[in-house]
């Protein structure tokens, strides 16, 4: 114990207080210094770690904000892409309908126009330029196709999993290719129409009167007999006096009164095509008169066998009624 060295620490306060003396062994002093050093190192490490965690927290908040902004932008892009895809579908349907209308020399044209595209798959095949079976064979196939519950479930799962950047990139590539294809098809149809201006001028196109369609082409229950009856045209409800326009160039074949159609106009367009406009209140054309698409020919009325003011519109090809919807792009 005699070999132990001591260190005396003098604490000298102001003059009024007594001087204090603290005697510590050198070993204890060294131990205290080591502990203080260790504590300082630990404190410094904790402080540095805290600063790092604080910096990381700030960075995480910034990244979360950026991710939220990116997700918002992704949703906007996805929404616009979906809108473009819907527009391309409409363009494809319009192109398909124009191909049907302009296929004048197709021997199955009359049946094609009467039937229209059978299913969405058939429309896609025609729009993509794939081989299409003759309409006479298509008539033997079922008109409506249903998807199994498994397919529907797969579609739902696919939609849920579709929200990622890789698939969005794939969709963008597909939309680009499809838009190029649609552009090519429209150019082809436009050039075809230019080459056949006379034929196209004589082909019905568009609605003959402003209004809404209350009864379509096909089998329906007769409002008079209550029995199934073939409705060979479209009924377009409109206010009495609404203008009725020719839908193509042609010659007025008849403009008179019949018990069924009341005041009716029939226009012969050539190439085996005729249009009929019934239940008019007033006629503005006469037999033998030449008309062009958009010429005023009558006014909507309620004459003949009619349940209310409307226009009955029919299209015939080679004597057979065909669905006028196929000549109206927006239908």
pLDDT at 298: 97
pLDDT at 117: 39
> What percentage of the chain has pLDDT greater than the value 70?
78
pLDDT at 3: 55
> Is pLDDT of 314 > 50?
yes
Looking at per-residue pLDDT, the higher value among 79 and 295 belongs to 295
User: To which H or E segment does residue 324 belong?
Assistant: none
Looking at per-residue pLDDT, the higher value among 207 and 166 belongs to 207
Residue 168: pLDDT band with limits 50, 70, 90: confident
Work out the mean pLDDT of the chain and round it to a whole number: 78
pLDDT at 64: 85
> Is pLDDT of 130 > 70?
no
Give the alpha-carbon dihedral of 220, 224, 226, 227, to 10 degrees: -60
| Both tokens assigned to 175 | 């939309």
pLDDT tens digits for range 132-160? 444 344 334 433 333 443 444 444 444 44
pLDDT at 160: 44
Start-end of H helices in 21-141: 26-102, 109-115, 120-127, 135-138
Q: Are 206 and 329 in contact (CB under 8 A)?
A: yes
> Is pLDDT of 163 > 70?
no
| Length of the chain, in residues | 331
| Mean pLDDT, residues 306-325 taken together | 93
pTM for the whole structure: 0.47
pLDDT at 285: 97
Q: Are 229 and 221 in contact (CB under 8 A)?
A: yes
pLDDT tens digits for range 237-287? 999 999 999 999 999 999 999 999 999 999 999 889 999 999 999 999 999
pLDDT at 103: 62
pLDDT at 135: 38
The three-state secondary structure class of 156 is helix
Looking at per-residue pLDDT, the higher value among 125 and 29 belongs to 29
pLDDT at 101: 67
Residue 114: pLDDT band with limits 50, 70, 90: very low
Residue 198 vs residues 113, 269, 271, 296, 315: alpha-carbon distances, Å:
20, 10, 11, 20, 18
């Amino acid at each position: 114990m005699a070999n132990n060295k001591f260190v005396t620490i003098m604490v000298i306060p102001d003059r009024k207080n007594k001087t204090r003396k603290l005697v510590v062994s050198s070993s204890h002093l060294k131990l205290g210094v080591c502990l203080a050093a260790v504590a300082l190192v630990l404190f410094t490490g904790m402080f540095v770690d805290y600063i790092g965690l604080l910096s990381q927290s700030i960075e995480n908040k910034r990244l979360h904000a950026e991710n939220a902004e990116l997700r918002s932008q992704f949703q906007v892009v996805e929404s616009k892409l979906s809108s473009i895809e819907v527009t391309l579908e409409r363009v494809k349907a319009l192109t398909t309908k124009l191909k049907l209308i302009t296929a004048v020399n197709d021997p199955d044209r009359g049946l094609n126009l009467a039937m229209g595209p059978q299913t969405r798959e058939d429309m896609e095949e025609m729009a993509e330029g794939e081989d299409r079976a003759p309409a006479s064979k298509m008539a033997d196939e079922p008109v409506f196709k249903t998807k199994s519950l498994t397919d529907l479930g797969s579609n739902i799962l696919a939609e849920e999993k579709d929200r990622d950047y890789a698939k969005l990139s794939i969709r963008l590539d597909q939309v680009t290719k499809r838009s190029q294809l649609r552009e090519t098809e429209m150019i082809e149809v436009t050039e075809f129409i230019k080459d056949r201006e006379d034929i196209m001028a004589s082909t019905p196109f568009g609605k003959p009167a402003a209004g809404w369609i209350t009864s379509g082409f096909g089998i329906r229950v007769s409002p008079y007999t209550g029995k199934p009856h073939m409705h060979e045209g479209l009924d377009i409800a409109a206010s009495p006096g609404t203008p009725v326009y020719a839908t193509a160039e042609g010659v007025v074949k008849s403009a008179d009164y019949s018990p069924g159609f009341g005041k009716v106009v029939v226009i012969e367009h050539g190439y085996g095509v005729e249009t009929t406009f019934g239940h008019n209140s007033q006629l503005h054309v006469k037999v033998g008169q030449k008309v062009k698409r958009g010429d005023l020919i009558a006014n909507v009325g309620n004459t003949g066998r009619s349940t209310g003011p409307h226009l009955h519109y029919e299209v015939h090809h080679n004597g057979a009624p065909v669905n006028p919807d196929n000549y109206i792009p927006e239908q």
